[in-house]
């Protein structure tokens, strides 16, 4: 299962429980794909964007933010760096905190705690 498939499955379950529609729109690494996808959302009534944590969206974050603002689409981004660049809001993990916690868990495992158990 890819990351995209995981978000699609989880998003679909959440969308149906909230009685909202989910319109999956994968984009390639091309600027034209991003412009087309966001432009199509702008034509839908009551539309909003949920940007997934993906190398393409991170690399093209300035374009995504600008297009969402131009089309007046409320958008939730995966990382704070999108908000720092002008995005509306983010909801997701803090990669710096996540990687910082890694050392804590590696230390516990190397000291004998079982990985995948309540000891960690």
**Strands lying side by side in the sheet with 49-50:** 49-50, 75-77, 89-90
Residue 96 has pLDDT above 60, yes or no: yes
CA 61 to chain centre: 11
pTM for this prediction:
0.77
Determine the angle formed by the axes of helices 31-42 and 61-70, rounding to 10 degrees: 20
Encode pLDDT of 14-42 as tens digits. 888 888 888 888 887 788 999 999 999 89
* pLDDT value of residue 87: 94
Encode pLDDT of 65-92 as tens digits. 999 999 999 999 999 999 999 999 998 8
> Which residues have a Cβ under 8 Å from the Cβ of 82 and sit 6 or more positions away?
51, 61, 64, 65, 90
Domain locations in the chain as residue ranges: 3-93
Asked whether 71 and 38 are in contact (CB, 8 A), the reply is yes
């Amino acid at each position: 299962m890819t990351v995209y498939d995981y978000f699609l499955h989880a998003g679909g379950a959440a969308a149906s429980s909230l009685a909202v529609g989910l319109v999956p729109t994968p984009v390639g690494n091309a600027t034209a794909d991003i412009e087309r996808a966001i432009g199509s959302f702008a034509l839908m009534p009551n539309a909003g964007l949920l940007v997934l944590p993906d190398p393409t969206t991170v690399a093209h974050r300035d374009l995504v933010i600008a297009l969402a603002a131009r089309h007046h689409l409320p958008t939730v981004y995966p990382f704070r760096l999108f908000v720092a660049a002008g995005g509306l809001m983010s909801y997701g993990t803090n990669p710096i905190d996540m990687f910082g916690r890694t050392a804590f868990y590696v230390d516990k495992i190397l000291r004998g705690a079982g990985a995948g158990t309540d000891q960690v």
